[in-house]
Amino acid sequence: MKTFLLLMCHLAAAHGWTCGEAPRLYDVVQVDAGHGKVVARDLNNTPYFLSGASWYRLGSVKLKHVSVGPSGLWGIDTSDQVVKYIAGDFQQVRGLSLQHVDAGGDGQIIGIEANSAETYCLPRGSALAFNGVGALNWTKMANSWFKYCSCSPNNGCWGVQTDSEVKFSKGINSSTCLGNSWRGISGLNMKMMKIGTDGTVFGLATNGYAYERTGISSVFPDGSGWSIVSQCMKVSHLSYDLGRLWLATNSGLLLQCSR
């Protein structure tokens, strides 16, 4: 069955995207791409790093979420503790218990609290300098209750509230974690949003399909509409970096899409 679906992926193309199987990693449930790197997590909470056409296990810690970006490689372990990859393994960061962490901003880290969905920011200086010693002080972001959030050095931050409504903030200062207020984006309810370093924005809708945000410009940084991405299977997670869109399907396959 999976072989048939992969054949359909190679045949499917719409809105400029062509998708095919990525280097094979079984039972993928989450993928993150940023700063030229690609990481993923499987059904057993094992994190991996892509090198060439092969996947290699990252460290010895089981993770429920992993993210890579300008501030390094971060994750959430199975006890909801924040970890950072330091000298070959993940080291626990004392402080908040989180369910989600995003390392894709301009050096700052965005984290979502495990129980309340309150959203926090770790300034760039603290994130970059952390070497496994001491606790870190997170800044609570005003009026922010998300189940997923993604930031970029270009085109601000995008979040998904617990009711699946999409929110956009034009900019979060990476040094102070202060920024513009959030405004609603109409059109689709989303499970998650992902924004690439270049400012390209994608969302995974509650219907299981990936969409690209269209009409983004300096005048309209939040864009004007949604365009569905060609895909042969429903998706559980996605990420984008350097012209490549990565899709983790509900069947556990990983797809790589390009224009």
CB 255 within 8 A of CB 22: yes
Confidence of residue 107 (pLDDT cuts 50, 70, 90): very high
CA distance 176 to 48: 32
State the pLDDT at residue 142: 84
| Predicted model pTM | 0.92
pLDDT of residue 114: 84
Residue 197's pLDDT is what? 87
Distance CA 146, CA 182 (A): 11
Instruction: Decide: residue 222, CB within 10 A, 0-12 exposed, 13-18 middle, 19+ buried.
Output: buried
CB neighbours of residue 71 within 10 Å? 28
Q: Is the pLDDT of residue 11 over 50?
A: no
pLDDT(108) > 60: yes
pLDDT beyond 90 at 112:
yes
Q: Which of 122, 187, 176, 186 is nearest to 149 (CA)?
A: 122
Cα–Cα distance measured from residue 103 to residue 111, given in angstroms and rounded to the nearest whole number: 9
Identify the pLDDT of residue 182: 93
The predicted-structure confidence for 213-232, as pLDDT tens digits, reads as follows 999 998 999 999 999 997 77
> Could you give the C-alpha distances from 5 to 2, 73, 86, 104, in angstroms and in order?
5, 32, 39, 31
Domains in the chain, CATH or no CATH each: 2-258 (2.120.10.30)
| Residue 9 pLDDT | 53
Q: What is the mean pLDDT of residues 5-9?
A: 51
Residues 82-87: what's their mean pLDDT? 97
Residue 14 has pLDDT above 60, yes or no: no
Confidence of residue 15 (pLDDT cuts 50, 70, 90): low
Question: Between the CA of residue 209 and those of 85, 131, 228, 229, 237, what are the distances in Å?
Answer: 31, 39, 7, 8, 10
Average pLDDT over residues 130-135: 92
Residue 150 predicted with pLDDT over 50? yes
Residue among 103, 104, 49 nearest 76 (CA): 103
Grade residue 46 by pLDDT with cuts at 50, 70 and 90: very high
Percent of the chain with pLDDT over 90: 80
How does residue 171 score in pLDDT terms, banded at 50, 70 and 90?
confident
HSE, side-chain direction, 13 A CA sphere, residue 204: 26
Position 5 pLDDT exceeds 90: no
The per-residue pLDDT for range 189-206, each reduced to its tens digit, is: 999 999 998 999 999 999
